[in-house]
């Protein structure tokens, strides 16, 4: 007999809305990505979106210390870092319009209003703004055939700024979309009591229900696993079945979260609620990867010489999240245990003798960055790595500073600099990209950079060429304004720098290396954005391999 309910559901798109309760910074992005992963285990095609309720049009103008890293998509979006988690977990590129901000929604509505598209109506938050939100959410189903769209709503329930987004998703349910709601909440345990407290969760679900949304599932973040008593309490007060309350305690490895959900049967329950009788979950490859990591005991110590230390240490972690993940992926790929050391470059400016600490490391990274602070300290660290044969990987600013250091010290171009750092330098070895000058002069600060994936032609026989599997052309993502000045390429090359990758017109230097060094490789791009678990970014893999061979 034909199962008609199943037939009807074929080709249908299912939406899973993830909301947050109690506090932000719960790892809702990782939770969302993990829900996506367990659905992928069943063979479903999944994509994910992030709603950021701030008024900024995108994340390009946000300060990293305030909001964490700016993630760059393949199509050149400057986006919230959660899209990075989606890409890493789901192993697919997520386009920039999968990040929706209040700024984008309102600017679209106002533009339409000015064009007279609302036919003389009073334009209002409901329905016009909510319609625009729904249109943007549903757009995710138009670019590829997807079974699931996960929509993470930033912030917490009760914030003024995400009310219209919640309202839009409430309407989607009313409009009979196949949709379900997962509320990710926090269950604190006061040290003095030692008891997990569910009251904040009860309150946040109460707020959600006032808006008209009844969560289908509750995922409780907590330090330790949730006990049965707490589960029952949450179930009763939040109007869900006790089996629909899931425990999401702190784990050492974020990539273990999908398995934790799998063990509690979350995917089966999601599928059941949506009347999907999907086959069997295949999580064996992911499980093997997560299990193996636990056994890697040999450490590989990588120092990250950074500068975003101004607002407390914990922020620093967020500013470099993709670099950290890329180091981890590459270390695990080489069956090593990654150990990351944070080094404030300003230390070397005040106390150059501290440079010796770099000897204790297996490799050093100077990641991307903007502005002046800590620059000379980074240059000192790069010089130390170059002279002492310590494996070095330069990312964007890390390449620019490697060129400056080399120009000063090897090419004898004293006071060589980037015009970003010293406008009057006698040797502007790093300077503006010509086509960017006009944009910057117009002082349009949003999206004035070279953004997104660009091709580079690799030079045969170089380390970079080998690491990319002997590919002639590779695409990496960019986010910068400055470039190696073409006028200095000759002198740099004559003195030993090999530019192992260049833009198709050969004007822009995309990769560089020093042939007689154990590993001294840098790129104008940000290869960390394409690193995925089990598929490390080639240059990070190269760094770890060199570090290990020392
Ligand atoms: N500040 C430099 C530039 O704009 C480097 C940018 C970066 O490291 N992402 O070119």
Ligand 1: atom nearest CA of 398 is 8
Residue closest via CA to ligand 1's atom 6 equals 480
CATH 3.40.50.300 domain residues, the chain: 4-290
512 CA from centroid of ligand 1 (Å):
16
Q: How far apart are CA 455 and CA 488, in angstroms?
A: 22
352 CA from centroid of ligand 1 (Å):
25
521 CA from centroid of ligand 1 (Å):
17
Q: Are strands 78-80 and 70-72 parallel, antiparallel or unpaired?
A: antiparallel
Q: Which helix (H) or strand (E) holds 544?
A: helix 538-548
370 CA from centroid of ligand 1 (Å):
6
| Tens digits of pLDDT across the chain (550 residues) | 444 344 344 568 999 999 999 888 788 999 999 999 999 999 999 999 999 998 888 776 665 545 567 889 999 888 888 899 999 999 999 999 999 999 999 999 999 999 999 988 899 999 999 999 999 999 988 888 999 999 999 999 989 999 999 999 999 999 888 999 999 999 998 877 778 889 999 999 999 999 999 999 999 999 989 989 999 999 999 999 999 999 999 998 999 999 999 999 999 999 999 998 767 889 999 999 999 999 999 999 999 998 755 545 545 666 788 999 999 999 999 999 999 999 999 899 989 999 999 999 999 999 998 878 889 999 999 999 999 999 999 999 999 999 999 999 999 999 999 999 999 999 999 998 666 555 545 544 455 678 899 999 999 999 999 999 999 999 999 999 899 999 999 999 999 999 999 999 898 999 999 999 999 999 999 999 999 999 999 999 999 999 988 6
Which residues have C-beta atoms less than 6 Å from ligand 1? 368-370, 396-397, 400, 420, 479-482
Main-chain phi, psi angles of 483, to 5 degrees: -145, 165
Buried b (16+ CB within 10 A) or exposed e, 265-295: ebbebbbeebebebeebebeebeebbeebee
Residue closest via CA to ligand 1's atom 5 equals 397
CB 21 within 8 A of CB 144: no
pLDDT at 62: 65
Neighbours of 441 (CB within 10 A): 9
pLDDT at 167: 96
Catalytic residue numbers read 396, 526, 528
CATH topology for the 295-549 domain: Rossmann fold (3.40.50)
Q: Are strands 148-153 and 509-513 parallel, antiparallel or unpaired?
A: unpaired
Ligand 1: atom nearest CA of 368 is 8
Q: Which of 59, 368, 404 for mutating ligand 1's site (highest number of atoms within 8 Å of CB)?
A: 368
Q: How many residues does the chain have?
A: 550
Q: How far apart are CA 523 and CA 546, in angstroms?
A: 17
In 3D space, the residue among 131, 138, 81 whose CA is nearest the CA of residue 105 turns out to be 131
Neighbours of 408 (CB within 10 A): 18
Maximal CA-CA distance, the chain: 83
pLDDT at 4: 39
Residue range 4-290 in CATH 3.40.50.2300: no
| Residue for token pair 């600017």 | 107
Buried b (16+ CB within 10 A) or exposed e, 378-401: bbbbbbbbbeeebbbbbbbbbbbb
CATH 3.40.50.880 domain residues, the chain: 295-549
45 CA from centroid of ligand 1 (Å):
35
Q: Which of 447, 480, 523, 529 for mutating ligand 1's site (highest number of atoms within 8 Å of CB)?
A: 480
Structure token pair of residue 204: 């946040």
482 CA from centroid of ligand 1 (Å):
6
Residue closest via CA to ligand 1's atom 1 equals 370
The conformational region for residue 290 under phi > 0 = left, psi -120 to 50 = alpha, else beta, is alpha
In 3D space, the residue among 403, 393, 384, 386 whose CA is nearest the CA of residue 517 turns out to be 386
Q: Which of 439, 477, 481, 525 for mutating ligand 1's site (highest number of atoms within 8 Å of CB)?
A: 481
Q: List the beta strands (DSSP E) in 171-250.
A: 178-186, 217-222, 245-249
Q: How far apart are CA 474 and CA 527, in angstroms?
A: 11
**What is the distance between the terminal CA atoms of the chain, rounded to a whole angstrom?**
66
In 3D space, the residue among 70, 49, 101, 82 whose CA is nearest the CA of residue 479 turns out to be 70
């Amino acid at each position: 007999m034909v199962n008609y309910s199943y037939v009807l559901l074929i080709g249908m798109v299912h939406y899973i809305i993830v909301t947050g309760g109690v506090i932000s910074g719960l790892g809702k992005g990782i939770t969302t990505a993990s829900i996506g992963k367990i659905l992928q285990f069943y063979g479903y095609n999944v994509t994910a979106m992030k709603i950021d309720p701030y008024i900024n049009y995108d994340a390009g103008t946000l300060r990293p210390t305030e909001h964490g890293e700016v993630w760059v998509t393949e199509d050149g979006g400057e986006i919230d870092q959660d899209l990075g988690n989606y890409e890493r977990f789901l192993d697919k590129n997520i386009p920039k319009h999968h990040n929706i901000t209040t700024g984008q929604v309102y600017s679209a509505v106002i533009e339409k209003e000015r064009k007279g598209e609302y036919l003389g109506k009073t334009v209002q938050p409901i329905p016009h703004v909510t319609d625009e939100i729904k249109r943007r959410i549903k757009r995710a189903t138009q670019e590829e055939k997807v079974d699931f769209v996960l929509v993470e709503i930033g912030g917490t329930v009760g914030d003024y700024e995400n009310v219209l987004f919640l309202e839009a998703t409430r309407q989607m349910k009313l409009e009979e979309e196949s949709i379900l709601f997962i509320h990710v909440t926090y269950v604190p345990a006061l040290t003095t009591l030692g008891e997990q407290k569910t009251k904040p969760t009860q309150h946040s679900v109460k707020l959600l229900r006032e808006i008209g949304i009844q969560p289908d599932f509750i995922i409780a973040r907590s330090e330790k696993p949730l006990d049965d008593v707490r589960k029952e309490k949450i179930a009763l007060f939040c109007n869900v079945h006790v089996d629909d309350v899931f425990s999401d305690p702190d784990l050492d490895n974020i990539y273990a979260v999908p398995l934790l959900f799998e063990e509690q049967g979350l995917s089966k329950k999601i599928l059941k609620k949506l009347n999907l009788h999907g086959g069997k979950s295949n999580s064996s490859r992911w499980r093997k990867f997560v299990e193996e990591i636990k056994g890697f005991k040999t450490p590989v110590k990588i120092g990250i010489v950074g500068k975003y230390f101004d607002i407390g240490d914990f922020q620093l972690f967020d500013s470099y999240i993709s670099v950290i993940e890329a180091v981890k992926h590459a270390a695990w790929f080489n069956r090593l245990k990654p150990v990351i050391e944070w080094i404030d470059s300003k230390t070397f400016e005040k106390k150059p003798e501290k440079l010796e600490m770099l000897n204790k490391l297996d490799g050093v990274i100077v990641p991307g960055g903007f502005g002046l602070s800590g620059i000379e300290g980074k240059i000192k660290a790069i010089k130390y790595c170059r002279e002492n044969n310590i494996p070095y990987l330069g990312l964007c600013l890390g390449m620019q500073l490697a060129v400056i250091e080399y120009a000063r010290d090897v090419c004898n171009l004293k006071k060589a600099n980037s015009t970003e750092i010293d406008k009057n330098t006698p040797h502007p070895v790093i300077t503006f990209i010509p086509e960017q000058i006009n944009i910057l002069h117009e002082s349009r600060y949003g999206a004035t950079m070279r953004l997104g994936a660009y091709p580079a032609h690799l030079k045969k026989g170089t380390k970079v060429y080998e690491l990319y599997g002997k590919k002639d052309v590779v695409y990496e993502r960019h986010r910068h304004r400055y470039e190696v000045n073409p006028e200095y390429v000759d002198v740099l090359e004559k003195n030993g720098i090999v530019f192992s990758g260049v833009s198709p017109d050969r004007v822009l230097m995309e990769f560089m290396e020093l042939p007689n060094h154990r590993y001294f490789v840098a790129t104008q791009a940000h290869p960390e954005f394409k690193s995925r678990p089990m598929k490390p970014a080639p240059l990070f893999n190269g760094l770890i391999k060199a570090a290990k061979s020392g």
